[in-house]
Structure 1
Amino acid sequence: MNRITFAAVLCGQLMAGLAQADDCRQHMPTWLERAYPGHVQGQPLHDERGSFRLDDEQSICKVWPARPHLTLLAVSLLRTEEDGHGESDLEVLVLDSVSQAIIARHVEPNLLDWDAIFVDGLEFDTAPYRLREGDLAFGIRVKRRSMSRANPFYETSLSLYELKEPHLRPVLSELVMDRSGGEWDTRCAGEFSDTRGVLVITERLGNKGYHDLLLKQTRTDSRAEMVAQECETVEENLHRQQHRLEYDEQRYLLPIELVPI
């Protein structure tokens, strides 16, 4: 294949990918209606867990780049909503991109509950998570934040899912990847912490052929105060640490220090 032909093919693939992304967003209402018969914005639905309604604004979709014949959906099922807090499940669905038939679905009860810390958005993570030979997982990142200006807080957690038609199951749940927060006087003086993580698939094979995972974290702690009428960072410390995650019988186990509180 010459360079011109290769460039044309590459451009065609890119345009097809963009078209699929557009189709994904355009087809969301139809898919939701098909997955949840009778769905109308605000109308309650019912399942074995009780009544719920779909949170259309929180729900997302994405054509799986590694498997473009499949489309991924993440849907927020709102169970209860009161002043300042609520309960919401996350349902993950996999669809055939052509026929739009539902191939697999899985509900994560109460994964999107909120109170002072609320869910700020969902995002598919379709990096090539080859956890074992012949398998490819995809991820969903849940973003959370607080509404407090004096005590800001932001967090992103990652869950990984493995498709074995007709089943979809979680293999990693709520691993905190990024977190930042602090306490300050809303003008300058305060203490802050910012943690960023990278998940690495190691070469070591563990139980049932699943590779061990390694979470590499970098945390920056800082303190700010007014100096000569200027707000300055007067102290900053950098910390690096690693956590190994091993596969048990059904999923990766989180070290105790990484288990969500």
Structure 2
Amino acid sequence: MTVKLGWIGCVALSGGLMAGTVFADCAPEPVTGSLDFSVCKVWPAYPGLTLSAVSTFEPDPVYGKNDRVGSYDLSLAVLSTGRSEPIATYRQPTAFMSDAFALSAVDLDTARYRLTPELRAFGVRANFKGSSRVNPMEETWLTLYVKEGDKLRPVLDRLVVSDFGGEWDGNCAGERAGTVRTLEIGQTRSHGYADLIVKSVTTGLVGEGEPQTCELKTTTGKPVLTTLRYDGKSYVLPAGFKGV
């Protein structure tokens, strides 16, 4: 099974824990700040369960008064139809830092991340974007969580599933490149969890000439396969694979 990985990350909390009656109908928790994120999604792997994620922006006390400089807390919950309280939760203070490279979107990923015959994970995707047009930067992280009793636990932390960057003149000339990673559930296991096969494909773009006569050349590298193994606590990521 191959799961196409787009962008994601993370959501935050707007005060207290989410109300299960709200999320039973998959209505996102209200947030108060314009930079906050809130999302919910039915979990197809487990009928009757809904996932929610809320991420609240906390401005930096010195540099964040008039800008997007600060951090995001993250609060996750699993809710069951007909119950008023979450059946499992997770909270991470300062889950994301945000500055010129700012958190721009959050989503829940309910692809079939079957890590054991009985256990499926879900994902949170966080997308970050830079503010410069001529030095573009964009990155998406994926974190996978499993439910253990009344708690949620991250088992894959901030895998960079897509990135894009480079330098150009805003018209034509310059170089940009991006990498997209797809994830496949492997047939082998480590410490009881399925190994994850990551396929990375890098595409480059080179522009030459004036805007009226711009020539663009695209190159696509050969796919590179990397196996991620569970060490008993989490999947180990090689250098360059983890968002920071």
State whether TM-score is above 0.5: yes
Q: Does 1:129 align with 2:113?
A: yes
Pairwise mapping of residues 130-209 of structure 1 onto structure 2 (< 5 A)? 130-207=114-191, 209=192
- 1:116 aligns with 100
- 1:62 aligns with 41
Aligned mates of 1:21, 1:260 — CA distance in 2: 29
Q: Does 1:252 align with 2:231?
A: no
Q: Which runs of 5+ in 2 are unaligned?
A: 1-21
Q: 1:237 to 1:133 in 2, by over 3 A?
A: closer
Q: What is the SS of the residue equivalent to 2:96?
A: coil
Q: Does 1:213 align with 2:196?
A: yes
Q: What is the SS of the residue equivalent to 1:249?
A: coil
Aligned mates of 1:121, 1:65 — CA distance in 2: 22
RMSD: 2.3
Q: Which amino acid aligns with 1:115?
A: D
Q: Which amino acid aligns with 2:189?
A: L
Q: What is the SS of the residue equivalent to 2:45?
A: coil
Q: Which runs of 5+ in 1 are unaligned?
A: 1-19, 33-40, 43-54
Q: Does 1:89 align with 2:73?
A: yes
- 2:216 aligns with 233
Q: Deviations over 1:55-111 (max 9, x none)?
A: 784111111122231111111133334134101111111111222321111122322
CA displacement at 1:231 relative to structure 2: 1.4
Aligned mates of 1:163, 1:130 — CA distance in 2: 12
- Alignment equivalent of 1:71, drawn from 50, 53, 67: 50
CA displacement at 1:22 relative to structure 2: 9.9
Q: 1:206 to 1:228 in 2, by over 3 A?
A: closer
Aligned mates of 1:238, 1:227 — CA distance in 2: 27
Q: What is the SS of the residue equivalent to 2:29?
A: helix
Q: Which amino acid aligns with 2:44?
A: P
Bigger RCO (CA 8 Å, 6+ sep): 2
Determine which structure has more spread, i.e. the larger CA radius of gyration. 1
Kept after mapping to 2: 8 A contact 1:199/1:215: yes
Q: Does 1:105 align with 2:89?
A: yes
Q: Which has the higher helix share?
A: 1
CA displacement at 1:131 relative to structure 2: 0.6
Identity of aligned residues (%): 38
TM-score, normalised to structure 2, is: 0.82
Aligned mates of 1:227, 1:172 — CA distance in 2: 45
Question: Aligned residue pairs: how many?
Answer: 218
TM-score, normalised to structure 1, is: 0.77
Kept after mapping to 1: 8 A contact 2:36/2:56: no
